[in-house]
Amino acid sequence: MKKVTIHIMPKKDVLDPQGKAIQTSLSALGFSEVEEVQTGKLVEVFMKDSEDINQRIGEMCDKLLANPVMEDYHFEVEEAVRS
Amino acid sequence: MKFAVIVFPGSNCDRDMYHAAGDVLGMEADLVWYETGNLENYDAILLPGGFSYGDYLRSGAIASASGVMQQIKAHAGAGKPVLGVCNGFQILLEAGLLPGAMLPNKHLSFMCHHEALAVANHETRFTTSYDKGEIIHLPIAHGEGNYFADDETLSELKRNNQIVFTYENNPNGSAANIAGIINRQGNVLGMMPHPERAVEKLLGSNDGFRLFQSLIENWRNAYAANL
């Protein structure tokens, strides 16, 4: 069993109003050193291992998990430790 | 002309859409649950607004991956009309039936009020009852209606006259003031404002009435020409 951690972030030139609002809020709380905040999504997928696991995850991201028009993604695959 | 209003879990403008097509325009219309529907015998598909699947992942994303989309793609591929409003528009974008994507509104807030729109293309099958450049008023109600597409896609939309409605006072940050676009073939229209909520003067505006009227008239003309 593998644990796949997928990070989905808005593309560089895409407006991230949520990140902007968080930045404004942090600065109101006195964290004036914050220069930029970007928000995204983190998805954890537990799946069977296979030879083409990276390709399969790429397909999942392209078809559903990320929207290539506005988002980029990257992922890490590790051995799943189930408690 | 027979209309199918597709109902997803979380759709909430399905009955408005049904009321517009069925009661006000007097057409045959059915509410079709997304899991059970057979769309073969319908002339037009209406994708209503709402929050399909609670907007999980991204607005419209889960609905766009549901089984009924294959039928909707086949319907669209056959040149038959599809209208997606609000969440319906988001679903069409996620399904790749229209180009681009929706970002959260520029100022983050959910907006619910009437907006002035210009009819940027009055020659589509959805807009022939409007005048060229006419200003109409339709309600908007969305949190993610900030249309985004890369520059290449935007110039292609402009070049092919695919921008059908534009905001007069862009409320949400949409690229090129886009409120509604149509596909290249001219049979799939997506728009954020709600024409189905503006089909009776009593409810503040009937500027949406002529969108349905255009669609029906053009369907009838094409039907008669093929007899």
Instruction: Say which CATH number the domain at A50 has.
Output: 3.30.1280.10
pLDDT tens-digit map of B103-124? 999 988 999 999 999 999 999 9
Q: What is the pLDDT of residues B131-189, one digit of tens each?
A: 999 999 999 999 999 999 999 999 999 999 999 999 999 999 999 999 999 999 999 99
**Is the pLDDT assigned to residue B72 strictly greater than 90?**
yes
Q: Is the pLDDT confidence value at B4 over 80?
A: yes
Type of residue numbered B208 = G
Inter-chain contacts counted by CB atoms under 8 A, chains A and B: 37
The domain containing residue A39 runs over which residues? 2-79
Cβ-defined contact of B103 to A15 (cutoff 8 Å): yes
**Is residue B59's pLDDT more than 90?**
yes
Yes or no, beta carbons of A18 and B104 under 8 Å apart: yes
Mutate to test the interface with A, among B70, B150, B156 (most CBs of A within 10 A): B150
B35 is annotated as an active-site residue: no
Higher pLDDT among residues B209 and A17, named by residue: B209
pLDDT range class, residue A37, cuts 50, 70, 90: very high
B37: pLDDT strictly greater than 90: no
User: Residue B38 corresponds to which tokens in the numbers above?
Assistant: 């057979």
Work out the mean pLDDT of chain A and round it to a whole number: 94
Q: Which of B61, B101, B105 sits opposite A64 (nearest CB)?
A: B61
Q: Report the percentage of chain A scoring pLDDT > 70.
A: 98
Angle at B73 between CA B119 and CA A60, to 5 degrees: 110
Q: Verify whether the Cβ–Cβ distance B148 to A70 is below 8 Å.
A: yes
pLDDT of residue A52: 97
**Closest in A18, A63, A69 to B100, CB measured:** A69
CATH number of the domain located at residue range(s) B2-225 in this protein: 3.40.50.880
**pLDDT reported for residue A23:** 94
- Please give the tally of structural domains in chain A: 1
User: For B91, what's the count of Cα atoms within 13 Å in the CB-facing half-sphere?
Assistant: 35
pLDDT confidence bin for B193, thresholds 50/70/90 = very high
Residue B217's CB: how many other CB atoms inside 10 A?
Answer: 15
**pLDDT score for B9:** 95
Give the span between the Cα atoms of B108 and A25, in whole angstroms. Answer: 14
Task: Please return the burial class of B15, using the count of CB atoms within 10 Å of its CB with bins 0-12, 13-18 and 19+.
Answer: middle
Residues of A in contact with B148 (CB under 8 A): 14-15, 69-70
Alpha carbon of A45: minimum distance to chain B alpha carbons (Å): 14
Give the C-alpha separation, A57 to A46, whole Å: 11
Give yes or no for residue A83 having a pLDDT over 70: no
**Residue A82: pLDDT over 80:** no
The pLDDT of residue A13 is: 83
Report whether pLDDT(B43) > 70. yes
Please identify which of the residues B86, B94, B115, B144 carries the catalytic annotation: B86
CB contact (8 A) between residue A70 and residue B103: yes
Partner-chain contact A15 B105, CB within 8 Å: no
